[in-house]
Structure 1
Amino acid sequence: MSLWLDQVADAGDDLVPRASLGGDVEVDVCIVGAGLTGLWTAHYLLERDPALRIAIVEKEIAGFGASGRNGGWCSALFPAGAASLERRHGRDAATAMRRAMIDTVDEVGREAERLGIDCDFVKGGTVAFARSPLQQKAAEAEVSQAADFGTDELRLLGPEGFGVSEVHGVVLDPACARLHPAKLVRGLARSVEARGVTIYEKTEAVDFSAGRVVTRRGTVRADSVVLALEAYTATLARTRRRIMPLYSLMIATEPLPASVWHAIGVEHGQTFSDYRHLLIYGQRTADDRIAFGGRGARYHWGSAIRDGYDIVPKVFEHLETTLRELMPAVGDARITHRWGGPIGVPRDWHATVSYNPRTGVGFAGGYVGDGLSTTNLAGRTMADLVSGRRTALTALPWVGHTSPRWEPEPLRFTGANAGLAATAFADVEERVTGRPSIAAKIVAPLVGH
């Protein structure tokens, strides 16, 4: 289990599945997937019309996927960068998207508090460490770009006060909150359920079309169908090549004493990363652990998703080595949890929320690991779309965006794993040469930059 699900279980949430679908039913809205996208969509639909009959079908339990396993960053990050959004949609649209993401961080905190969900939400910002002269230049460029778009208050700090190896400088992005994802998703499930939403767990959807969702336990007929499966979108035949599942893995330490945190310099409510190409991410948890994750696990043939892929000893060892090298004060602290899961990657690394009023079918996803806040924006936007409203949210550039489909195998397998290898090589290349990586430059257009 993830640290997060383990902790909610220890706190009294037994994680026993809710009742499964017992036959055919008819509702106003059927949502496929009881993760944060589906649950936020249900929540905001009820805000607009409390009388709606809403059913959610879920193969496992609410929060089983990325919603219960992620890094706990409620950030303003969008998988396609601001410059990429500007090239595709124009400056005004890119700026509007960035502002919407920044506002969403606060929206998650407000709604969690209003609903009485204690999810350890603290908006402390992200500290990103520049650990070489080359990374320092990248940090300065990021701050400059944010100022150019006029949407951020990124600040470039000196290395003083941070116990991070080889640190040259630090960028503080205030638009990020640390939270406990399982507390949020499980609490949100209870909240919508208390307001009349029926969540059918252990109810796997096998097909969908206009007006219906077919499961192994019956058919749900609905005026509107919302697909909210993220990486698991690849498990349905109709959408197999729409999203590619890539695995991200995490570890967590035992609680660390105050003296260690004083040496590290990361405050409560802060998340952290650095400027390497093979992404790492971490947070200081409410109980003073480090929850730390990163990429590195390979893509599996045919977009396969299996429990065994969550456990990759070589990647866990790499994460542990990386953490102790990054923050030497961690010392020999015990690693108590190791887990992983798939994230959803569209072909152009551009998340989307869309709804076809003619068919009544909607889709949201493609967050590439930046979903803890983006799911909330998706839920609000989807509720507007389903309700037939035209709002500032439905005018955002990700609404109605269609990503190209992923290539068939073996091209998908070869390309995905070659890209992963190139990203890892880029870090080695820059350490050796001291110059910007050629490999990273080649891969950049393929990863939303």
Structure 2
Amino acid sequence: MSFWTAVLPPQPPRPPLAGDEEADVCVVGAGYTGLWTAYYLAVADPSLRITVLEAEHAGFGASGRNGGWCSALFPKSVGYLERAFGREAALALNAAMESAVDEVGRVAAAEGIDCDYAKGGTVVLARSPAQLARARAEVAEAARYGIELHLLTAAEAKARAGATDVLGGTYTPHCAAIQPAKLVRGLAAACLRRGVRIYERSAVTRLDPGVATTAHGRVRAPIVVRATEGFTPRLPGHRRAITPLYSLMIATDPLPPAFWAEAGLAARETFADGRHLIIYGQRTADDRLAFGGRGAPYHYGSAIDPAFDHEPRVFADLARVLRTLFPFIGDEVPVARTWGGPLGVARDWMASVGLDPATGLAWAGGYVGDGVGTANLAGRTLADLITGAGSDLVRLPWVGHRSPNWEPEPLRWLGINASLRLMTTSDAAEARTGRPAKRAELISRMLGN
């Protein structure tokens, strides 16, 4: 259980599916993607019979475990999107992602969902000459597209996040810090109020056109939506469609005013630095640091297991990095809880959403850890595709994209874990020399950015 869920009052489980059922739309997965899809469908057409099937409980996966960044980040860069789809399409997708940040806040307010939403933006610190060079390049690239990304001086960056060794950084206003479990729980309640049926402990064992099969019965519907993200490999025929990669987090005890006087984050900015092996954090509404990062290994065969949520080495590394960033936190980081979970990655690192009109099978996912805002955009897009609304959303370049399958094992295991190692050694080389690591160029080429 994540910290986000652990601090909420216990919620009785919803009943499982009890026998066969008919619906107009069946959604598989009660995370952000599935619930946003159900919500917008119910808003668009209250007469629709919408059924959501969930293997555990609503928000069990990444939706209830993530870092709480509702951001405009998309797995592929705008430069890549321009090369692949053209400038106009790239900018339209970026604008849609930016609007998704505000849309989440709008719906939360309209539905009375207290998810600690605070749009303080994101500061990415540059703490080495190599990171500063990348920050300057990113700001120059953003300026070429008219995208708002500010280059910060060392003083400006430290005024937002008072970390050590800061040489500069970047700032974007297009991110809100949230409490993820509060959002997903409130979204499920909003769906129920609008007549959506949510069945928990109803794992789907097979997806076919027009039917989702569980051990408790089958739901027949002309439209079936796969919204399973990192758990997709558990579905027959989808083992190589999405790879689950683990991201782990720690949350501290509430920290005193003296700490925040130095650490800043007064607007609850989300924060990171420019290293290759991603870290991410936020100041919570009750003055904790919630801090996470990559580094956990990929498990052979796209395996998913609760035991993988706990990697003591990674938790120790996260605490060490926090002490490096904010040494005034003390000799021992007051860790209140540790947790983790899988996120979904497509082979070409390209998130996608779509509906096959021939089969009625729809999908969304492959967010690479940036799913809070992207799932909202996916839900609105799926709702428009299903209802035939013909909006601008259905013409965005990620709609209908089909990623190639991942390589079979053991190539998948070797390639992914080698990439993780490459990011780690690149960061170590840059810390040692102060120069950009040439080996890191391999990472960018592998990601297609």
- Match for residue 303 of structure 2? 304
Map 1:171-250 onto structure 2 (within 5 A).
Answer: 171-250=170-249
Mind listing any 5+ residue stretches in structure 1 that lack a counterpart?
A: none
Q: Deviations over 1:156-181 (max 9, x none)?
A: 24334342111101211110001100
8 Å contact kept, 2:119–2:269: yes
Among 26, 36, 39, which residue is 1:40 paired with? 36
Among 104, 108, 111, which residue is 1:112 paired with? 108
1:239 deviates by: 1.1
- Match for residue 290 of structure 2? 291
Q: Measure the CA separation in 1 of the matches of 2:445 and 2:379.
A: 28
Q: Deviations over 1:229-281 (max 9, x none)?
A: 00001111221111000000000100011111110121233100000000000
Q: Deviations over 1:318-341 (max 9, x none)?
A: 000011111112213410010000
- Match for residue 322 of structure 1? 321
Q: Measure the CA separation in 2 of the matches of 1:403 and 1:386.
A: 21
For 1:238, what is the secondary structure of its paired residue? coil
Question: Which residue identity is paired with 1:70?
Answer: N
Question: Which residue identity is paired with 1:98?
Answer: N
Map 1:45-84 onto structure 2 (within 5 A).
Answer: 45-84=41-80
Normalising by structure 2, we get a TM-score of 0.97
- Match for residue 22 of structure 2? 26
Map 1:228-377 onto structure 2 (within 5 A).
Answer: 228-331=227-330, 332-377=332-377
Q: Deviations over 1:208-246 (max 9, x none)?
A: 111100111100000100000000011112211110000
Q: Measure the CA separation in 1 of the matches of 2:76 and 2:358.
A: 29
**For structure 1, which segment, 149-158 or 38-47, has the greater mean C-alpha deviation from structure 2 after superposition?**
149-158
Among 84, 90, 97, which residue is 1:94 paired with? 90
- Match for residue 13 of structure 2? 17
Question: Which residue identity is paired with 1:442?
Answer: L
Mind listing any 5+ residue stretches in structure 2 that lack a counterpart?
A: none
For 1:277, what is the secondary structure of its paired residue? coil
Q: Measure the CA separation in 1 of the matches of 2:355 and 2:131.
A: 40
8 Å contact kept, 1:24–1:218: yes
Tell me which stretches of 4 or more aligned residues in structure 1 moved more than 4 Å. Answer: none
Question: Which residue identity is paired with 2:88?
Answer: D
For 2:222, what is the secondary structure of its paired residue? strand
8 Å contact kept, 1:163–1:328: no
8 Å contact kept, 2:129–2:435: no
8 Å contact kept, 2:151–2:168: no
**For structure 1, which segment, 374-383 or 388-397, has the greater mean C-alpha deviation from structure 2 after superposition?**
388-397
Q: Measure the CA separation in 1 of the matches of 2:85 and 2:432.
A: 37
Q: Measure the CA separation in 1 of the matches of 2:448 and 2:232.
A: 20
Q: Measure the CA separation in 1 of the matches of 2:239 and 2:19.
A: 26
1:153 deviates by: 4.3
Q: Deviations over 1:43-89 (max 9, x none)?
A: 10011101100000000000000000000000000011111111211
8 Å contact kept, 1:357–1:386: no
8 Å contact kept, 2:279–2:291: yes
Aligned-residue identity in percent:
54
Q: Measure the CA separation in 2 of the matches of 1:366 and 1:163.
A: 33
For 2:139, what is the secondary structure of its paired residue? helix
1:400 deviates by: 0.4
8 Å contact kept, 1:81–1:448: no
- Match for residue 400 of structure 2? 400
- Match for residue 443 of structure 1? 443
CA RMSD after TM alignment:
1.1
Aligned residues: 445
1:432 deviates by: 2.4
8 Å contact kept, 1:102–1:175: yes
Q: Measure the CA separation in 2 of the matches of 1:401 and 1:102.
A: 21
Q: Measure the CA separation in 2 of the matches of 1:327 and 1:365.
A: 35
Map 1:122-141 onto structure 2 (within 5 A).
Answer: 122-141=118-137
